[in-house]
Amino acid sequence: MELAKYIDHTILKPDATREEVEIICQQAKKYGFASVCVNQYYTEYVKNQLENTDVKVCTVIGFPLGAVTTDVKVYETKQAVLNGADEIDMVINIGAIKNKDYDYVQQDIKAVVEAAKPAIVKVILETCLLNQSEIIKACELSVQAKAAFVKTSTGFSKAGANVEDIFLMRKTVGENAGVKASGGVKDFETANKLIEAGASRIGTSSGIAIVTQLQNDKPDGY
């Protein structure tokens, strides 16, 4: 398993500086991570930093609440793609899922998927705010809307990824979409358990610690 290729190297804190983002980009190139995930302000900067590499540019849409209108998400998405985004992580409308307004949710995702082309879309469910039936429905709607991935969390709510939710999401989407685990993934043991449960991508700011720990054959203390 080439663990680095599972990792979206992430810096989404609101006070992230250009210098910190540059360091993240350099680390992603060094370790061969799948992508660098940033807020939209840094999308174009990251695109320039990662030029002529295999590392993708990932940015977030409707972040972190998902409660803006579809038109706003579409505009954000188009701007992100113009600025060089290869991957779009959008937050689902959580209130609409709670309201069982499933047509709205599906159309919200579909509109972003269409606006993102040729970039791919990962749909953030914020699983800690949903029950099992809502997670299943959100996954089904994401697949129907042609999203490339479903994703657990923003990292800004009550909790992040866990094995049970990843297993449920993978069981629901089958091979029709990827599954991204994010939020609280800080060590190799956790990342490995999530991958074994069905995760095909890991969103974390601890990517170096995770891959270094693997390379060091899980030293004492982990």
Q: What are the catalytic residues?
A: 89, 151, 180
Question: CA 26 to CA 28: how far, in whole Å?
Answer: 5
Q: What is the 3-state secondary structure (H, E, C) of 124-135?
A: ECCHHHCCHHHH
DSSP assignment of 34-67: SEEEE-GGGHHHHHHHTTTSSPEEEEEESTTT--
- Tell me the helices (H) and strands (E) count for the chain, helix number first: 9, 8
Token pair of 23, please? Answer: 């360091």
Q: Could you count the other beta carbons within 10 Å of the beta carbon of residue 37?
A: 30
Element (H, E) at 9: strand 7-11
Question: CA 95 to CA 101: how far, in whole Å?
Answer: 9
What does the DSSP 8-state code read for residue 92? P
